[in-house]
Amino acid sequence: MDKPIKYELLHTDKYTGARRGRIHTPHGTIETPVFMPVGTNGTVKGLTKQNIIDVGSEIILGNAFHLFLRPGLEIMSEFQGLHKFMNWDKPILTDSGGFQVFSLRDRKITEEGVHFHSPLDGSKILITPEKSMEIQQIIGSDIAMAFDECVDTKNTEKKYFEESVDRTYRWALRSFESHTRTDQGLFGIVQGGLFEDLRQKSLEQITGIPFDGFALGGLAVGEKYQDSEKVLKIFGNRLPKDKPRYIMGIGSPTMMILSVENGMDMFDCVLPTRMGRHGTALTWKGKLNLKASKVKHDNSPIEENCNCYACQNHSRGYINHLLKREEILGKILISIHNLYFNISLVKEMRRAIENDEFINFKKKFFETSDYPLQN
């Protein structure tokens, strides 16, 4: 039987672990490295379907946890899944709900699964690996994620991480065994926090299951990017070469470049649109505060030579005015630009990899911008 997800490695940079590839899915081919906009509730916040297409997005994320709460599985079934519900005919990846459960205060973790109260109405809910698979199969994403436990890297002792790694493995086995949809890929998630021995153990456990791809989880939960980079450098290229590699929750320019340098293919984050809603634009020189008074007289676009809708049609001064008057259009325009920027950044990384020039690309990027990078 043909696998629903196939990874094609086109080229590896001669001097780094950076990979140029393609992921073939039931809803089309994804060029990698790829940045994936987050569509938590079946929408990339504030943007239309055409906006998402116009910025160059090849795949978006749906959030299994939130879609399970609302509109619920009955509605998802009636609409025959998320693709038809939101009228999106390109690939979709859904997370398992592990990270969302991690963020809840009243969660109780047992071997069976995670018990918590609905943030909508307070009702008691239990999500198990089997339930997560049921939810994601009804949603009908191209790529589903195994149910895992996401642990706070800063405030948890190693003993708990040891227990969590083994529990994540047992949950991964249960996820794999209960996943039956043949037109949907399933990825496993490597955990272990910042502990090298536990990361290695988790990697061996999870890659021992024949998933369609593998992710590094638990590296976007508040730790310093330098700590994430250490894990990336050690484990990025230890993941199987013949399957997609996904680092979860990464979307800053710094972390995207470090992720690609160390062999990762996929990453996602709410950062571009969240920053856009707060008035900050991402540019090739660094971050730009469009709420600042100094830009209210500025007739130039957010970024010169940018082909996004916002830069082609509106000035910094106009967007500053919209933000000051709390007009939603200002937030939408910056969100469009930020997504366009992130997607343009990965396209440039692809070109650099193809030409074995990734090191030069990275060097120039950090020399000409004020994004942080460890020396």
CA-closest candidate to residue 167, choices 86, 101, 237: 101
At residue 85, φ and ψ (nearest 5 deg) are: -60, -45
Is 367 buried (19+), middle (13-18) or exposed (0-12) by CB count in 10 A? exposed
Q: In DSSP terms, which residues pair with 213 in a beta bridge?
A: 187
Q: Coil, strand or helix: which one is 90? A: coil
Closest CA to 342 of 279, 262, 263, 260: 260
Q: Using alpha carbons, select from 46, 82, 56, 87 the residue that is nearest to residue 67.
A: 82
The amino acid sitting at 329 is L
227 catalytic residue (yes or no): no
Residue 13 falls in the annotated catalytic set: no
C-beta pairs of 293-296 under 8 Å, 24+ apart in sequence: 295/320, 296/320, 296/321, 296/324
Distance CA 190, CA 241 (A): 15
CA–CA separation, 50 and 32 (whole Å): 22
Residues in Cβ contact with 180 at an 8 Å cutoff, skipping those fewer than 6 apart: 137
As a whole number of angstroms, the distance between CA 277 and CA 332 comes to 7
Looking at 13, 95, 148, 212, which residue is catalytic? 95
Q: Cβ distance 258 to 237 under 8 Å?
A: no
Spatial distance between the Cα atoms of 194 and 315, rounded to a whole number of angstroms: 43
Of the residues 13, 142, 148, 268, which is catalytic?
268
Between CA 206 and CA 199 the distance in angstroms is: 10
124 C-beta neighbours (distance < 10 Å), count:
8
Which positions are annotated as active-site residues? 95, 268
